[in-house]
Amino acid sequence: MSLTLKINGHQHTVDIEGDTPLLWVIRDVIGMTGTKFGCGIAQCGACTVHLDGQPVRSCVLPVSAVGTREVTTIEAVGATDAGKRIQDAWLAVDVVQCGYCQSGQIMSAAALLKRNPAPSDADIDAAMSGNICRCATYVRIRAAIKQAATGKIEVMQAIPVHAVGGRK
């Protein structure tokens, strides 16, 4: 089956079975490897991409369900305002440890800031709850999202407890 997908602003025509997960089309057919395979059952969030700006798990989304909607991957999210702020904050706060889940984490965080520019802790928890980090950098992830939301990106050596909603 021949399908034309719009990914990161570019048209890609692929000859693929319609039930093939979007993740495999992005990685194996088109060759963009920033989006990661984690669990294959939409539970970990490593494969998160945006479909018309909304975060979706590409490991379970059949490519035939994409239609004419725009797919944005980690390779292009920095071209958006929210994505750029998230990426800058991620670096400033030094979120990444092993890095495997980070593309999915960034995609979910960018979608959150796009729809809610001033998220509360509860909003952040709800938006990020489907993203698992084996290195447990959740405190730094929350701090980075808060910095990106305020636009005040600053390098942090250690994260004070009050910066992430704890006691002062």
Q: Phi, psi at residue 11, to the nearest 5°? A: -80, 135
Averaged pLDDT, groups of 10, the chain, 168 residues long: 97 97 98 97 97 98 98 97 96 92 97 97 96 93 96 74 58
CA dist 42 → 25, 60, 140, 168 (Å): 16, 6, 23, 37
Q: Which domain holds residue 20?
A: 2-76
State whether the Cα torsion 73-82-56-106 is positive or negative: positive
End of a domain among 28, 55, 76?
Answer: 76
Element (H, E) at 23: helix 22-24
- Whole-model pTM: value is 0.90
Same domain (yes/no): 52, 22: yes
Same domain (yes/no): 66, 111: no
- CATH no. for residue 82? 1.10.150.120
Same domain (yes/no): 59, 84: no
Give me the residue label for tokens 């798990």: 57
Provide the domain count of the chain: 2
- CATH no. for residue 8? 3.10.20.30
End of a domain among 35, 55, 76?
Answer: 76
Q: Would you state the pLDDT for residue 81?
A: 95
CA distance 66 to 73: 14
Same domain (yes/no): 82, 153: yes
Q: Would you state the pLDDT for residue 154?
A: 82
